[in-house]
Chains A and B, each alone.
Chain A
Amino acid sequence: GDSVTQMEGPVTLSEEAFLTINCTYTATGYPSLFWYVQYPGEGLQLLLKATKADDKGSNKGFEATYRKETTSFHLEKGSVQVSDSAVYFCALSAYSGAGSYQLTFGKGTKLSVIP
């Protein structure tokens, strides 16, 4: 079945440091790929997405490129802020028939940014 593997956390960075969170996937077909963010006590917010190979998703300074050859979708940000502290989830969306899409998530990576 489909699966997503992301780097284990927690990750602790100083403010303005460079962030990379690795994500690789296994899927049949051509999934869309997503990064979601979860702030403490809240639900998931869509951060960015890419729907086909070589697409780059970007939002709020975060970027990720859909790499079909390495089945990866690594999240990057050039300069993190304290407000970026959250749990980040990589996910893929696979079509399961009759108009139905289901998301498969990684286990999440907790990021803490210290001043």
Chain B
Amino acid sequence: ETGVTQSPTHLIKTRGQQVTLRCSSQSGHNTVSWYQQALGQGPQFIFQYYREEENGRGNFPPRFSGLQFPNYSSELNVNALELDDSALYLCASSSFDSNEQFFGPGTRLTVL
């Protein structure tokens, strides 16, 4: 069974740029959630995707957007990067209607 994978591992961008992060869900899972974890904090829910549509969103601005593909993999896009976007971005996959989520290793984004 393949676990949740994310790419890239690390990324450095400058303020105002755009970034795309990628996630492959665990085998058998059709739902993907994204979380932002700032240094020293707990993860914060960004949004969730199911059947290629957004299916729940946290308190994040529209410049945070996502996609889900037919194979259930997902992308997180962030436009107009700000310094405060520097964080570990975690992807989690689950089965639809399940409250148990399995996390990937994360992508560390640094915005300079």
Contact = CB atoms under 8 A, between A and B. Distances in A.
B72 interface: no
Nearest to B94: A101
Q: Is the interface of A mostly helix, strand, loop or mixed?
A: strand
A27 interface: no
Interface in B84-101: 90, 92, 94, 96-101
Contact of A102 (B33, B105, B106): B33
Interface string A82-106: 0000000101010111111111111
A105 B43 contact: yes
Contact of B99 (A89, A93, A98, A107): A93
Given A102-B45, A102-B56, A103-B45, A43 B99 contact: no
Contact of A96 (B35, B41, B56): B56
B99 A95 contact: yes
A3 B50 CA distance: 25
Nearest to A36: B103
Contacts of B99: 32, 51, 93, 95, 101
Contact of A99 (B33, B40, B42, B96): B96
B103 A45 contact: yes
Interface in A15-65: 32, 36, 42-46, 49, 51
Interface string B63-107: 000000000000000000000000000101010111111111110
B55 interface: yes
Contacts of B58: 102
Nearest to B95: A99
A24 B11 CA distance: 35
12 contacts: A36-B103, A42-B105, A43-B6, A44-B92, A49-B100, A96-B56, A98-B55, A99-B31, A100-B50, A101-B99, A101-B101, A102-B48
